[in-house]
Structure 1
Amino acid sequence: MDFTDVSLTALRVFRAVAEQGTFTSAAASLGYTQSAVSRQIAAIERAADAELLERRRDGVRLTAAGRIVMRRAKVVLDEIEATARELSGLPEQAGTVRLGWLPSAGAVLLPLALTALRRSDPGLHVVGREGTTPSLVRAVRAGSLDLALLASAPPFRPPDTESPPLAVQTLSERPLRLAVPATHPLARGDSVDVADLRGQRWIAGTSSGEDRLLGVWPGLDERPDIAHTARDWLAKLHLVAAGFGLTTVPATLASAAPPGVRVLPVRGGPQETRRLFLARLPHPPTDPVTRVATALRAAALEADLPAPSSPPS
């Protein structure tokens, strides 16, 4: 086992593959060819004299040896990046927290938390990105994110099956809501009966996660009539406002609904709840990470407050 010849490029490639989950995605993010990525991974595995990535049909994941190498690689890469900042005259950012979030969290919750942190902790620097649940979980495992803001549906399984389990902190658990055009007959009351959802048109977005058709009310006993598909929550809500169909929304997004949309509870049938939670590696969090988590929890409570909806027409 000899790591003396392992290059920084190989470490960066290894981190990208672990985070992206496939050689192809890592190559695209780095601007490399897939064969170049494969060569770098082969070189670092030769140096480790161990398989660092488990190759599976749905991508790759870190082995036990891979997690050890990733932990050490993160320290090396962080030090190199800090050195580059210092040499360029940029200030150190010891209070930096790397946060990942789902699209539905970025519309309301994230701005609330960042605004509060700007007032209470002006020296705290939060950086990160939006992503899917699998990509964010991989990034946490790879050490590229300190926190991931995720959501789940019953039966509320852990975000992944790897060991040790990620540490999770529930921020809120609220019933799923329905976004209805204000001119729609279903918008006349203060709630919608689940039986009245039969035969409706839906604004949906396909997903490989627990919700196969994000935007369609779960458990419908019919094949849903999908009018439009959209990945962006705001686009879905504007399509609803224009009268093109219904969509589901987390309770925390109710305040982001544009004029012409009523966000209503659904009565009857099984309770459809959604849990918003933070995930991180299972070691004691740093003080900046704890402060960000506290701000996100406060923002989740604020976002859960009832928001006024457009009056029915």
Structure 2
Amino acid sequence: MDFTDVSLTSLRVFRAVAERGTFTAAAESLGYTQSAVSRQIASIERAAGGELLERRRDGVRLTPAGRIVMRRATVVLDEIEATARELSGRPEPGGTVRLGWLPTAGTTLVPQALAALRRSDPGLRVISREGTTPALVRALRAGSIDLALLASAPPFRTPDDESPPLALQTLTERALCLAVPAAHPLARGDYVDVADLRGQQWIAGPPSGTDRLMGVWPGLDERPEIVHTARDWLAKLHLVAAGCGLTTVTAGLASAAPPGVRVLPVRGGPQELRRLLLARLPQPPAEPVTRLAAALRTAALDNAADAP
């Protein structure tokens, strides 16, 4: 085993594969070909003397040896980035936290928390990125983010089955609602009956992975007619405002809905709840992580107080 010849490029590629979960997604994020990614992973595994990634049908997962390498690689890459900042003359921030968040959290909660931190804790530097719940869980396990805002739906299972379990805290629990064009017949009342959702046209997430039917009311007894797909929630809501179809949103997004959209509860079936979780690795968090977590909790409470 000889790590002396492992390049920074190999470490960056390894981190990207661990975070993204597949060689293809890592290649796209880095602007490399998939074969180039494969060569870099083969190089670092030769240096490690064994497999660092477990190849599975649904992607890859870090092996025990891979977790060790990922933990050390993150330290090395973070130090290189800190060195670059210092050499460029930029002062080292008084604390840096890496945050991952869902698109829905980025609509209101994350901006509010960051705005409050700029006033109360201007020395705290937050680096954030958007992702899906599976991608953010992988990034937490890989050590490349410190905190993550994750989605959870009934039966509210833990986001992964790895050990030790992630430290989880529920920030919000909101009912799933329906975003309806203001001119649509379903917008005339104060709620929508679930029986009236048959035959409707839907605006959903892109047809891949766990987001395949995001935006369609769960449990419909028919194959939904999806007429538009969009990853961004505000794009979905503007499509609703244009009269292009219906989509689901949590009650907390009602304040972000553009003119021409009514956000209504759905009755006549089981209540659909959605939780927003704050997740981190189980070891005691660093002090800057604790400060950001507190700001996110405060923003969540403020949003709950303002909700209709």
Residue 112 of structure 1: aligned partner: 112
The 5 Å alignment of 1:286-305 reads 286-305=286-305
Residue 141 of structure 1: aligned partner: 141
- Gaps of at least 5 residues in structure 2 are none
Tell me the amino acid that sits aligned with residue 153 of structure 1.
A
Scaled by the length of structure 2, the TM-score of the pair is 0.93
Residue 255 of structure 2: aligned partner: 255
Q: CA RMSD in A?
A: 1.8
Once residues 245 and 35 of structure 2 are traced to their aligned partners in structure 1, the CA distance between those partners, rounded to angstroms, is 46
Residue 157 of structure 2: aligned partner: 157
Once residues 81 and 72 of structure 2 are traced to their aligned partners in structure 1, the CA distance between those partners, rounded to angstroms, is 14
Say if 1:228 and 1:305 are closer, same or farther in 2 by CA, change over 3 A. farther
Compute the displacement of 1:179 (Å): 1.0
Compute the displacement of 1:209 (Å): 5.2
Residue 180 of structure 2: aligned partner: 180
8 Å Cα contact 2:19-2:135 kept in structure 1: yes
State the secondary structure of the residue aligned to 2:78. helix
Tell me the amino acid that sits aligned with residue 54 of structure 1.
E
Tell me the amino acid that sits aligned with residue 201 of structure 1.
Q
8 Å Cα contact 1:152-1:210 kept in structure 2: no
Residue 12 of structure 1: aligned partner: 12
Compute the displacement of 1:18 (Å): 0.9
- 1:277 equivalenced with 2:277 (yes/no): yes
Residue 125 of structure 1: aligned partner: 125
- Gaps of at least 5 residues in structure 1 are 309-313
Of stretches 181-190 and 298-307 in structure 1, the one that deviates more from structure 2 is 298-307
8 Å Cα contact 2:205-2:211 kept in structure 1: no
Say if 1:295 and 1:207 are closer, same or farther in 2 by CA, change over 3 A. farther
State the secondary structure of the residue aligned to 2:186. helix
8 Å Cα contact 1:109-1:252 kept in structure 2: no
Once residues 188 and 57 of structure 1 are traced to their aligned partners in structure 2, the CA distance between those partners, rounded to angstroms, is 47
Once residues 164 and 94 of structure 1 are traced to their aligned partners in structure 2, the CA distance between those partners, rounded to angstroms, is 30
Tell me the amino acid that sits aligned with residue 299 of structure 2.
A
Residue 90 of structure 1: aligned partner: 90
Residue 62 of structure 1: aligned partner: 62
Say if 1:264 and 1:84 are closer, same or farther in 2 by CA, change over 3 A. same
Say if 1:82 and 1:260 are closer, same or farther in 2 by CA, change over 3 A. same
Compute the displacement of 1:155 (Å): 0.9
Once residues 113 and 9 of structure 2 are traced to their aligned partners in structure 1, the CA distance between those partners, rounded to angstroms, is 35
8 Å Cα contact 2:70-2:143 kept in structure 1: yes
Once residues 179 and 31 of structure 1 are traced to their aligned partners in structure 2, the CA distance between those partners, rounded to angstroms, is 37
Once residues 127 and 140 of structure 1 are traced to their aligned partners in structure 2, the CA distance between those partners, rounded to angstroms, is 14
8 Å Cα contact 2:173-2:275 kept in structure 1: yes
Scaled by the length of structure 1, the TM-score of the pair is 0.92
Deviations 1:124-175 (CA, angstroms, capped at 9, x unpaired)? 1111111122222222122111111111110112222222222211101111
Tell me the amino acid that sits aligned with residue 283 of structure 2.
H
Residue 27 of structure 2: aligned partner: 27
Once residues 201 and 34 of structure 2 are traced to their aligned partners in structure 1, the CA distance between those partners, rounded to angstroms, is 42
Say if 1:290 and 1:81 are closer, same or farther in 2 by CA, change over 3 A. same
Once residues 183 and 33 of structure 1 are traced to their aligned partners in structure 2, the CA distance between those partners, rounded to angstroms, is 48
8 Å Cα contact 2:206-2:212 kept in structure 1: yes
Once residues 260 and 43 of structure 1 are traced to their aligned partners in structure 2, the CA distance between those partners, rounded to angstroms, is 55
State the secondary structure of the residue aligned to 2:139. helix
Say if 1:247 and 1:33 are closer, same or farther in 2 by CA, change over 3 A. closer
Say if 1:249 and 1:180 are closer, same or farther in 2 by CA, change over 3 A. same
Once residues 244 and 34 of structure 1 are traced to their aligned partners in structure 2, the CA distance between those partners, rounded to angstroms, is 37
Compute the displacement of 1:97 (Å): 1.0
Deviations 1:6-38 (CA, angstroms, capped at 9, x unpaired)? 222222221121112222222333333333322
Residue 170 of structure 1: aligned partner: 170
Say if 1:160 and 1:122 are closer, same or farther in 2 by CA, change over 3 A. same
Tell me the amino acid that sits aligned with residue 229 of structure 1.
T
Tell me the amino acid that sits aligned with residue 141 of structure 2.
R
Tell me the amino acid that sits aligned with residue 123 of structure 1.
G
Say if 1:35 and 1:197 are closer, same or farther in 2 by CA, change over 3 A. closer
